[in-house]
């Protein structure tokens, strides 16, 4: 391994190069552009042996990726925001066709009002598209997810496409130290992609077919199971990853000082770094606070979150998302998990960071202190609105 000073986009591109995709199809969009720019440079300077296809739209990017995957090629694409939404039609084709494409999504606000800055409404609005969804905290995790994603997606028990999410700008455009593994290590972790789910003249089969009312449910059930199986395979992949690279990840969630915490913030993505720092500071003052970081939104960590917060006095879900007319989508998912496992800890919802609005340390402290008094409702950080009825 060697240490480099890289942005999240750079780090992800380095990780993808180590994964040796055979086909990359992409259309540039801020703040994703740099990851595909870097990969095109790597193909140009021959440090990556891959077909780079600059398509004319995101819809084509995903269609092209499916075509490549359907002949057994390891495939990569990347997008963001409106690009992801334009691609949405193709997402269910990829997941239903069981094509284990890896896509990086640079989380960015969706229009209107037009905005290029980071929030997570783009990917969270597509939770039901049948893709695995992971959220990175920092550039190191971004690079590592590039490798882990193929291991999980291509596993025979999973066969599901994988969306790795990086917060736009605060992660994609922020430079930090990253350990870049060697190609030998990466090859040991990730052998070439092999699958039966491909067009093959020696072994002809039907791919990407129709299924009528009589059989459709069975296919959807299998798809659902592929995602559920990913839980086990993520854990297996992380164990193997640690053996080779010496970094241990923690499955669907990361618990940070939450085991004995009275008050817990549940969140996802790069804002977790600030929450960790605030937890450390408040712990020094004797406050029993902690963080539960959701690493995977699909498959969803129902049991893990329930166990992590069951002994707390209160918890808050902090997310860069709002499902208009209801509440934050992560909050909905967390509440459903707690209900299923009979956990009756009060949980409030904080909507922050929309359109790239800064979330400050003071705001994190305010969330923790609000949990002591009256945790309730849907709160919009920065504009002083509490939606509780």
Interface residues with another protein (CB under 8 A) are: 3-5, 31, 116-117, 138, 169-171, 173-177, 270, 272-277, 356, 358-361
Q: Of 108 and 121, which CB lies nearer to another protein in the complex structure?
A: 108
Q: Of 198 and 365, which CB lies nearer to another protein in the complex structure?
A: 365
Q: Of 141 and 304, which CB lies nearer to another protein in the complex structure?
A: 141
Q: Of 160 and 258, which CB lies nearer to another protein in the complex structure?
A: 258
- Please, what is the Cα angle at 298 between 101 and 107, to 5 degrees? 70
- The helix/strand/coil state of 118 is coil
Q: Closest approach of Cβ 138 to another protein, in Å?
A: 8
Burial-class residue 217 by CB neighbours within 10 Å (0-12, 13-18, 19+): exposed
Q: Closest approach of Cβ 274 to another protein, in Å?
A: 5
Spell out the SS3 assignment of 162-229.
Answer: EEEEEECCCCCCCEEEEEECCHHHHHHHCCCCCCCCCCCCCCCCCCCCCCCHHHHHHHHHHHHHHHHH
Q: Closest approach of Cβ 179 to another protein, in Å?
A: 10
DSSP 8-class letter at 114 = P
Q: Closest approach of Cβ 277 to another protein, in Å?
A: 4
Burial-class residue 366 by CB neighbours within 10 Å (0-12, 13-18, 19+): middle
Encode burial over 277-294: b for 16+ CB neighbours within 10 A, e otherwise.
Answer: ebbeebeeeebbbbbbbb
Q: Closest approach of Cβ 177 to another protein, in Å?
A: 4
Q: Of 4 and 22, which CB lies nearer to another protein in the complex structure?
A: 4
Q: Of 311 and 366, which CB lies nearer to another protein in the complex structure?
A: 366
Other residues' Cβ atoms within 10 Å of the Cβ of residue 326: 10
Q: In 248-328, which ranges are continuous DSSP H helix?
A: 271-284, 302-309
Are 331 and 337 a contacting pair, CB within 8 Å?
A: no
Q: Of 272 and 329, which CB lies nearer to another protein in the complex structure?
A: 272
| E strands, the chain, in order | 2-7, 23-26, 51-54, 75-79, 102-107, 132-135, 162-167, 175-180, 253-256, 263-267, 289-294, 296-298, 314-319, 347-351, 378-380, 385-386
DSSP 8-class letter at 354 = G
Q: Of 13 and 91, which CB lies nearer to another protein in the complex structure?
A: 13
| Polymer length in residues for the chain | 389
Are 24 and 79 a contacting pair, CB within 8 Å?
A: no
- Nearest to 359, CA basis, from 378, 373, 375, 380: 380
Q: Of 98 and 276, which CB lies nearer to another protein in the complex structure?
A: 276
Q: Closest approach of Cβ 360 to another protein, in Å?
A: 6
- Nearest to 160, CA basis, from 171, 176, 169, 149: 149
Q: Closest approach of Cβ 234 to another protein, in Å?
A: 23
Q: Of 177 and 218, which CB lies nearer to another protein in the complex structure?
A: 177
Are 302 and 332 a contacting pair, CB within 8 Å?
A: no
- Give the contacts of 38 (CB within 8 A, at least 6 positions apart): 9, 10, 13, 14
Q: Closest approach of Cβ 272 to another protein, in Å?
A: 8
């Amino acid at each position: 391994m060697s240490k480099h000073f890289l942005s999240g986009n750079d780090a992800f591109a380095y990780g993808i190069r180590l994964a040796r995709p055979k086909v990359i199809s992409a259309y540039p969009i801020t703040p994703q552009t740099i990851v595909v720019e870097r990969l095109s440079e790597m193909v140009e300077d021959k440090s990556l042996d891959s077909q780079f296809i600059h398509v004319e739209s995101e819809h084509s990017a995903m269609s092209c990726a499916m075509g490549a995957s359907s002949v057994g090629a390891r495939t990569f694409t990347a997008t963001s925001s409106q690009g992801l939404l334009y691609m949405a039609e193709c997402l269910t084709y990829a997941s239903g066709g069981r094509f284990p494409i890896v896509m990086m999504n640079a989380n960015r606000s969706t229009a209107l009002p037009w905005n290029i800055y980071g929030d997570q409404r783009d990917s969270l609005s597509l939770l039901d598209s049948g893709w695995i969804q992971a959220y990175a905290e920092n550039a190191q995790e971004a690079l590592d997810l590039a490798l882990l994603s193929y291991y999980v997606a291509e596993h025979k028990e999973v066969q599901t496409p994988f969306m790795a999410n990086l917060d736009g700008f605060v992660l994609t455009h922020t430079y930090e130290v990253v350990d870049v593994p060697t190609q030998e290590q990466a090859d040991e972790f990730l052998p070439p992609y092999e699958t039966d789910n491909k067009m093959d003249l020696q072994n002809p089969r039907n791919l990407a077919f129709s299924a009528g009312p009589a059989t459709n449910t069975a296919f959807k059930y299998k798809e659902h199971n592929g995602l559920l199986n990913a839980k086990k395979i993520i854990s297996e992949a992380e164990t193997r990853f640690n053996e080779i690279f010496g970094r241990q990840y923690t499955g669907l969630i990361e618990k940070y000082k939450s085991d004995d915490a009275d008050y817990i913030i549940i969140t996802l993505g790069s804002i977790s770094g600030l929450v960790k720092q605030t937890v450390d500071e408040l712990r020094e003052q004797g406050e029993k606070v902690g963080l539960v970081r959701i690493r995977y939104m699909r498959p969803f960590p129902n049991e893990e979150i329930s166990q992590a917060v069951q002994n707390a006095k209160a918890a808050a879900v902090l997310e860069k998302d709002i499902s208009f007319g209801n509440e934050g989508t992560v909050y909905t998912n967390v509440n459903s998990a707690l209900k299923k496992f009979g956990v009756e800890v009060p949980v409030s919802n904080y909507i922050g960071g929309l359109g790239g609005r800064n979330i400050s340390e003071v705001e994190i402290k305010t969330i923790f202190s609000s949990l002591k008094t009256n945790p309730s409702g849907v709160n919009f950080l920065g504009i002083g609105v509490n939606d509780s009825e």
